[in-house]
Structure 1
Amino acid sequence: MWRWVYIGAGHLAVGLGVLGIFLPLLPTTPFLLLAAGCYAKGSDKFHDWLINHPHLGNYIHYYISGEGMPAKAKTYTLLLMWPCILFSCWLVSNWLLKGLLITIACSVSYYILIKIPTLKTQPFPSEQIK
């Protein structure tokens, strides 16, 4: 029974991780790491699928190994996140919530730019599909 619980939790985490690609306040990597852990306990098939996924798998490898993030991925992340955050701030009338959104965006930007090493030799995952 626990096997199915882990598989279900893995599916949910992958879904939330993919949503996080498009929604600025939903993190992607933590959900994908959670999914990898759940799949490791529940299904070798799904674990192998996620780890070897052409778009998602490389980020898991880079993060777990401590190698970092490709420069293009950092750029794409920040260029996608900031317009979404600023648009969200424009939609919200509460100044406290606007401040929270900007604080979160600044914190994520700091983490991406300063704390995560930049991979300079590795191609962006979509370029490895060729």
Structure 2
Amino acid sequence: MAPTTRFRWFWWLVAYLALALGVIGIVLPVVPTVPFILLAAFAAARGSQRLHHRLLSHPRLGPMITDWQAHGALRRRAKWLATVMMLLAAALLLWLAPHLWIPLVASSIMTVVCIWLWLRPEPPTDPEPTAATAPPPD
């Protein structure tokens, strides 16, 4: 997609800001990583082709971004990891929060996100070549 030069700086800024928040989310369990990385890829495609290429070629992030861009899909491992991290964050909030309403509100939001996450499709697996799709023998 060819970005307009008028808004290219805006998309560049959004891409790097989202990437920074995604990296912070790797360390802090209450900051989501995946949505910020996907936002960074979306914005980088419009503002920084170099960053977009680096994200797509990253060994950990690249397949996730490609699955999302091609199919709107998330891998099952990512869904499980996100679910477990949300459960740990909810337990931590319940233990440390000064008021009960804080973990209740946060847990409610995490529950909605978790439901949405599990409703997303999984990327298609590459099927084994069948006789119809296999190349003919020499």
TM-score (norm 1): 0.76
AA aligned to 2:102 is L
Distance 2:78 2:22 in 1: 16
Does 2:33 align with 1:60?
no
AA aligned to 1:116 is R
Distance 1:75 1:120 in 2: 18
AA aligned to 1:118 is E
Distance 2:26 2:95 in 1: 21
Q: 1:108 to 1:13 in 2, by over 3 A?
A: same
How far residue 105 of structure 1 moved from its aligned partner, in angstroms, is 2.1
2:54 corresponding residue in structure 1:
49
1:94 corresponding residue in structure 2:
99
How far residue 62 of structure 1 moved from its aligned partner, in angstroms, is 1.4
Deviations 1:21-51, CA, capped at 9 Å, x for gaps? 3434423233223222322222211110012
Task: Map 1:1-130 onto structure 2 (within 5 A).
Answer: 3-66=8-71, 68-113=73-118, 115-119=119-123, 121=125
How far residue 3 of structure 1 moved from its aligned partner, in angstroms, is 4.0
8 A contact 1:36–1:47 mirrored in 2 = yes
AA aligned to 1:121 is T
Structure 1: gaps (5+ residues): 123-130
Q: 1:36 to 1:118 in 2, by over 3 A?
A: closer
8 A contact 2:93–2:102 mirrored in 1 = no
How far residue 65 of structure 1 moved from its aligned partner, in angstroms, is 2.2
How far residue 91 of structure 1 moved from its aligned partner, in angstroms, is 0.6
How far residue 85 of structure 1 moved from its aligned partner, in angstroms, is 1.7
TM-score (norm 2): 0.72
The number of residues matched between the two structures is 121
Structure 2: gaps (5+ residues): 1-5, 127-138
Distance 1:84 1:25 in 2: 6
Superposition RMSD in Å = 2.4
- Greater RCO, CA 8 A, separation 6+: 1
